[in-house]
Amino acid sequence: MRHVFPCGVPALDFVGTLQEWRTPVPIERIGSPALLDSWFVQAGLLDRHPHCDQADLRAALELREAIYALVRARLTGRALPAKAVITVNRQAAGVPVVMRLDVAGTSRSGRAAQALTDLAHQAVEILAGEDATLLRECGRPDCTHVYLDRSRGRRREWCAMRTCGNRVKAAALRARRRA
């Protein structure tokens, strides 16, 4: 499967692996250990598949839910949910991915738990730092990708112009033509 990474930050793209969170049937993009393996590699967290198992998948889904809960709390100005804070902090305390310098540049190796630790670190840095004020959720009604709005006027509306922005603008154009 080809995964998508519109947010530019692996921890936020990880949240987007469950698409359309608020619909009756969200779309799961990492629903098996093999899909989680490929996501880690395509996200650039690991160079090789870590051979995930069901326990790794459960840990990944739990971390994703926790990060999303924390992001939603930041977006809505609510207090951070204690259970989500505990989950993210527990994962962030783990051993990170091993990076090595070699003749080809760098290599990244590790297990699934190490990749999840790196995602938890990113989430902590975003949620506890100045970037928390840049968090946004995509403006397309069915999309629930979150991203950091680093645009000049801080008026970015979509996770990615080539996908959601294009869909919204095309739908608006069709509606104007019908009217």
In CATH, what number is assigned to the domain containing residue 87?
A: 1.10.3300.10
Q: What is the pLDDT of residue 49?
A: 96
Note whether residue 2 is domain-resident: no
Q: Is residue 1 part of a domain?
A: no
Is residue 37 in a domain? Answer: yes
Cross-strand partners of 105: 102
In a domain, 5, yes or no: no
Q: What is the pLDDT of residue 148?
A: 92
Contact at 8 Å (CB) between 168 and 176?
A: no
- Domain of residue 50 covers 10-178
104 belongs to a structural domain: yes
Would you state the pLDDT for residue 168?
A: 66
Q: Is residue 3 part of a domain?
A: no
SS3 state of residue 3: coil
Question: Domain tally for the chain?
Answer: 1
Please classify residue 90 by burial: count the beta carbons closer than 10 Å to its beta carbon, then call 0-12 exposed, 13-18 middle and 19+ buried: middle
**Other Cβ atoms within 10 Å of 119 Cβ, number:** 27
Residue 44 — φ and ψ, nearest 5°?
85, 10
The predicted model scores a pTM of 0.89
The answer to whether residues 59 and 30 touch, using CB atoms and an 8 Å cutoff, is no
The predicted structure's pLDDT at residue 165: 65
Is residue 98 included in any domain, yes or no? yes
Give me the residues of the chain with pLDDT under 50, please: none
Tell me the residue type at 98.
V
d(CA 11, CA 61): 13
